[in-house]
Amino acid sequence: MFDKHRDCFERFQMPCFDIARTIMTSHFRASRVQELSVTDGSLDVSDNVGERPMETIKLARAHALAGMAAMLLGSAAWSTAALAQNVSSTSTNAAATNTNAATANAATANAVGAQSNNFRGGGGGSGGGSSRGGGTDPGVRGGDPGAGGPLQGLNDTELSFFAGAKDVFQEVDAVPNGLGPRFNLDSCSGCHSHPAVGGSSPPTNPQVAIATAAGGKNTLPSFITANGPVREARFVRNPDGSPDGSVHGLFVITGRSDAPGCNIAQPNFAAQVARNNVIFRIPTPLFGLGLVENVPDSALQASLAANAQQKRSLGISGHFNINGNDTTIARFGWKAQNKSLLLFSGEAYNVEMGITNDLFQTEREGDANCQFNATPESVIPLQAADLASPSASFQSDIELFSSFMRLTAPPTPASGAAAPVAQAAGAASQTAAASTQTTGTAGQTTGTASAASTPASTASTMVASATADVSSVMTAAAGSSTAAQPASSSTSGASVTRGNQVFANIGCQACHTQSFTTTKSQLTGQSNVTIQPFSDFAVHDMGSGLADGVTQGTANGNEFRTAPLWGVGQRIFFLHDGRTKDLSVAIQQHASRGSEANTVINNYNMLSQTDQQSLINFLRSL
């Protein structure tokens, strides 16, 4: 039937690595892949991840208990986001194929990451054939983000605590406060700032200025630009070829006026870029994470199973990143590698800012001439800090950071664009487009809701008030822009509604699950709240085009957590490395060899241009 003697390229029309993926027996695959990965670094080795040391967990637990006690009063804090790896991390798992990544397709022409062919990732594709032209991203939606402030319904004590936590989240640190010796920025809110404090990367990258602040002598890496995203850098492999995957600070304190005598050098990023050995992560938005934290595992599991038949018709599977210590679902970070907000905070404080703390007590840079503080540099204060909240004044920074994330409100969509971001379970009415997704989930969590003691009247305070209008989603604007777009077409409302329908029909919602309901909460008014994060919080194989080769927890180098889409209307940079500002490019980048999203993107490419535009308008309304 088939000519068995034709050249493999001719026959398979894909790289030979993919042929191996497709046809090798598992036994052969295992041995072969191991052999190849060491030398070449371009095959998938999902070798497992180490296990997080128990002492870390015990410490985390101790602090969690202390933090919980404080949390009753409100404890608050943050984290520099996704940048951290926690659930062990860092064995390298090379992208399955073609990690040389220079094969940027037309879709990546506008990509931020397209500035260099030597960055990993970016070798996507539309799955063959030609689409109908695609929609145009109208750019960042205007209007109040509805995020950055506290959750609705909190009591006065909690609100006061949130205010204190937010203040600390915005503090700028220098070397005497613990900054460095290696770091990526000097504050949490510097990275997490758009469209409000707690968000993602701002339009103007603060990393450019920090490179030489206070006399610093840092050279700006090529992948850090004034109008590009805030980035952290990870090296995929060590010089000896063994897996790395860890964050390498962009900057050093050498030359700063507050770091006399320190003379360490930055990593040679130019050489690493030339070796195609650098991957990037941008900050994940932190809005609404306290609500995400409070969704029970059972609801996530039920949701993943609820539409399994539909997923199978689309080539989608997915699994959760399971924490090895307690076997519950980790859900924070680009790979869902972070189990808790506190751990997220502690790791980011040390990794991104170089500030040792209660969870991560050891300086990552050991040069004796660059140690200026006793360690850990940030601990629970024995004397009250000068914060508005008395209880917050006795919290360590990382507890305040995690509490900021826990207490900060989720984004709200444009008015009428979708169901409220959060509403009382009793009053929840599913949006039509997401009915498939929400049916199983709602059924799972209704029981929890009815068994809970929180009065519906209290929970109803969570009904979100939309702050922007659908009409602010501009249709068919010429190219994306960082500047928020004004209101435009009066037909936007219809387009957004249609886009919601398209979103469900072509299968986006199979992973970008619209809603979940929280369980009982320690916080006032936050029990049994239905939220609309548009994520299943599972990790999925996103193919060679997005693969970063870094394994974290049970997420391998090809896998990423389904990015929550709430607030995506006001996001500037997309995908884990911020490679594009264009939502239509981000959609296309979901397709590449090995991606679970290929069929959904094929469906997208088969849509009429009007429906493609509607989908993008819908997304920009979120």
Partner 1 sequence: MRISLYLGIAACLAGMGVVLHGAMLSSRDAGFAQSANPEDAYVTDGGFVSDYFDLSYRVPEGWAQGLAGPMPSQSGYYVLGTWVPKGDFAGTILVAAQDTFFERGSSDDVKNVVAQFRQVMSTVDGMTIDREPAQVSIAGRPGYRVDFSGVGLFRSMFAIEIRCHVVTFNLTTRDAELLTSLAGSLDSLIPVRKKTSDAIPECIRDYAADNVVHRVEPQGIGLISVPVRLIVAADGSVKHVHMIRGSAAQQRNIEDAVRQWKFKPYERQGHPVEVETGIVFNLKPASM
For residue 488, state whether it binds partner 1 (rule: CB under 8 A): no
Q: What is the DSSP letter of 408?
A: B
CB burial of 469-489 (b: ≥16 within 10 Å; e: otherwise) equals: bbbbbbbbbeebbeebbebeb
Give, as one character, the DSSP assignment of residue 547: -
Q: How many CB atoms lie within 10 A of CB 9?
A: 11
Cβ–Cβ under 8 Å, residues 482 and 581: yes
Closest separation in Å from C-beta 117 to partner 1:
12
> By CB under 8 A, is residue 453 in contact with partner 1?
no
129 is a site residue for partner 1 (CB under 8 A): yes
* Minimum distance, C-beta of residue 580 to partner 1, in the bound complex (Å): 19
In angstroms, give the least distance from the CB of 533 to partner 1: 19
> Is the link from the previous residue into 260 a cis peptide, with omega within 30 of 0?
no
Min dist CB 589 to partner 1, Å, is 13
- From the CB of 457, what's the least distance to partner 1, in Å? 31
Contact between 461 and partner 1 per CB under 8 A: no
Q: Which of residues 507-546 bind partner 1 (CB under 8 A)?
A: 540-541, 543
Helix (H, G, I), strand (E, B) or coil at 276: coil
Contact 617, 495 (CB under 8 A): yes
Can residue 500 be called a binding residue for partner 1 (CB under 8 A)? yes
Residue 494 binds partner 1 (CB under 8 A): no
310 binds partner 1 (CB under 8 A): yes
Tell me the residue type at 255: G
* Cβ distance to partner 1 smaller for residue 331 or 581: 331
Q: What is the CA radius of gyration of the chain?
A: 23
Angle at 585 between CA 344 and CA 43, to 5 degrees: 65
CB of 67 to partner 1, least distance (A): 21
605 near partner 1 (CB under 8 A): yes
d(CA 152, CA 429): 19
606 binds partner 1 (CB under 8 A): yes
Q: How far is the CB of 327 from partner 1 (least distance, A)?
A: 5
Q: How far is the CB of 244 from partner 1 (least distance, A)?
A: 17
Among 607, 616, 619, 622, binds partner 1 (CB under 8 A): 607
By the rule CB under 8 A, 603 interacts with partner 1:
yes
Nearer to partner 1, 464 or 591 (CB): 591
Task: Provide the minimum distance between the beta carbon of 505 and partner 1 in the complex, in angstroms, as a whole number.
Answer: 4
Among residues 89, 105, 325, 475, the one that binds partner 1 under rule CB under 8 A:
325
Q: How far is the CB of 469 from partner 1 (least distance, A)?
A: 22
* DSSP-derived pairing of the beta strands 278-281 and 232-235: antiparallel
Strand, coil or helix: what is 17?
helix
Q: What is the dihedral of CA 336, 351, 291, 532, to 10 degrees?
A: -60
Cis peptide bond prior to 283, omega within 30° of 0: no
Candidate ranges 136-144, 153-161, 313-321, 416-424; the one touching partner 1 (CB under 8 A) = 313-321
**Rounded to the nearest 5 degrees, what angle is found at the Cα of 159, between the Cα atoms of 167 and 200?**
50
Q: What is the nearest approach in angstroms of partner 1 to the Cβ of residue 408?
A: 30
Region 403-432 residues binding partner 1, contact defined as CB under 8 A:
432
> Residue 535 Cβ, how far from partner 1 at the closest point, in Å?
18
| Distance in Å from the first CA to the final CA of the chain | 51
Q: In terms of C-beta density within 10 A (0-12 exposed, 13-18 middle, 19 or more buried), how is residue 265 classed?
A: exposed
User: What span, in angstroms and rounded, lies between the C-alpha atoms of 78 and 154?
Assistant: 18
Provide the CA 326 distance to its chain's centre, in angstroms.
23
Helix/strand/coil for 260? coil
> Per CB under 8 A, which of residues 140..179 are in contact with partner 1?
none
CA-CA distance, 39 to 241, in Å (whole number)?
7
By CB under 8 A, the residues from 278 to 307 that bind partner 1 are: 305, 307
Task: Count interface residues toward partner 1 (CB under 8 A).
Answer: 104
Q: Which of 76, 247, 414, 506 binds partner 1 (CB under 8 A)?
A: 506
The reply on whether position 593 binds partner 1 by CB under 8 A is yes
Span interacting with partner 1, options 1-9, 407-415, 476-484, 581-589, rule CB under 8 A: 1-9
* Per-position x/- string for 427-446, each x denoting binding to partner 1 as judged by CB under 8 A, each - no binding: -----xxxxx--x-------
242 part of the interface to partner 1, by CB under 8 A: no
The reply on whether position 502 binds partner 1 by CB under 8 A is: yes
Cα distances (angstroms) measured from residue 234 to each of 279, 363, 549? 5, 18, 10
Cβ closest to partner 1, residue 344 vs residue 503:
503
Shortest distance (Å) from residue 374 CB to partner 1? 31
With b meaning 16 or more CB within 10 Å and e meaning fewer, what string describes 126-141? bbeeebeebbbbbbbb
Token look-up 């850098």 returns 233
Site residues for partner 1, 13-72, by CB under 8 A, read 13-28, 30-34, 36, 39-40, 42-49, 51-52, 54, 57
* 592 contributes a contact to partner 1 by CB under 8 A: yes
Four-residue CA torsion sign, 406, 288, 200, 85 = positive
User: For residues 252 and 330, which CB has a smaller minimum distance to partner 1 in the complex?
Assistant: 330
| Options 553, 557, 567, 578; binder of partner 1; rule CB under 8 A | 553
Residue 103 near partner 1 by CB under 8 A: no
Give min distance, CB of 579 to partner 1, in A: 19
120 forms part of the interface with partner 1 (CB under 8 A): no
Distance CA 418, CA 590 (A): 23
Q: How far apart are CA 120 and CA 394, in angstroms?
A: 44
Q: Rule CB under 8 A: choose which of 137, 186, 352, 596 binds partner 1.
A: 596
CA dihedral over 104, 110, 115, 120, signed as positive or negative: negative
List beta partners, residue 516.
531
Distance, in Å, from the CA atom of 395 to the CA atom of 367, rounded to the nearest integer, reads 30
Q: Tell me how long the chain is.
A: 622
Beta strands 559-561 and 539-541: pairing type?
antiparallel
Using the contact rule CB under 8 A, the part of the chain among 146-154, 243-251, 395-403, 500-508 near partner 1 is 500-508
Binding mask 564-583 for partner 1 (x = CB under 8 A): --------------------
Q: Is 313 in the site for partner 1 (CB under 8 A)?
A: yes
Least CB distance to partner 1 at residue 301 (A) = 9
Residue 377: how many CB atoms within 10 A of its CB? Answer: 22
CB of 185 or CB of 306, closer to partner 1: 306
